[in-house]
Amino acid sequence: MREPITVTILGSGSAVPTPRRNTSAQILSINEVPYLIDCGEGTQTQMLRYGVKQSRITAVFISHHHGDHILGLYGMLSTFNLIGRTKPLHIYAPSEVQRYFMLQKEFFGEVFDYDIVFHPLSFKGIKLIYEDKRMVVHSFPLKHKVGCCGFLFEEKAKEANIKKSAIETYELTIKDIVAVKAGADHVLPDGRVIPNDRMVIQPEVPRKYIYCTDTAPCIDQYEELKGVDLLYHEATFDKQQTLLAKKTGHSTTTQAATVARNLEVKKLILGHFSSRYKDLSPLLAEAKAVFPESYIVQDGETYTID
């Protein structure tokens, strides 16, 4: 059985929080191991509300240094310290985020009993920034008023499973099995070649998730991002506010949906809405007119990537 991969929305509003929408934060979870994406004000409260196992977080990904994406960070780090965290926490963020953290740390005079390791992001092309046994993460530059990155989370590919009948039929040695699982054909003593696909069961295709916030439409230029299972793209404004979106470095609903269509993604979820909108159904209709598999996120919702 495949490990479950889920995305939980902790905050889906933009700069001004509302009673129904916190500022930006999400949890990507692989087999119940959580990774935090952005950390707007109130994120740790949202994690408590929605049952996130905070002690298991070892990596945090911050898109940029605007307040609605980082104001919850220091409070969360301080809470981790108060509750006795000892294992390191790795933060992948623009260099400004580390400077902001150091200013707060100096102001409060706090001594942390666990290591906080900052990894500065690059704004030049797609970069591998993180890897563990379950997942790899790439960053890519967005188009905002400050340096900003999106993130591609990709499940690690599993090895092919070799058929037991093939092992018996072709009398495969350990060395043969390793070669076949790596993709090689098998040559019998009499010279016959057994094709690899006759001996293995191919693993399922790795699942992919893109997090893309605070940007003018731009990511459909990246061929590497095509065909992902799930795309989160900001849609701060409706299509009538195209000029305002351009001025502020944001996207409209139709622009986000066009990006999803161009990238041939399976499903688009929209967030980072301006607090001016009380009814989001017109925004959803605009997006669906361009890309039918468009959905409006709500705080607390969890999406399973199948």
Catalytic residues: 68
Distance CA 13, CA 270 (A): 10
Phi and psi at 89, nearest 5°, equal: -125, 130
Q: Are 178 and 186 in contact (CB under 8 A)?
A: no
Q: Are 137 and 152 in contact (CB under 8 A)?
A: yes
Categorise residue 272: left if φ over 0, alpha if ψ from -120 to 50, beta otherwise. Answer: left
For 99, the token pair is: 């400077």
**Hey, which residues does 37 pair with through a beta bridge?**
26, 61
Residue 142: partners with Cβ closer than 8 Å, 6 or more residues away: 63, 64, 148, 149, 150, 212, 213, 214, 215, 218, 219
Query: CB-hemisphere CA count at 13 Å for 251?
Result: 27
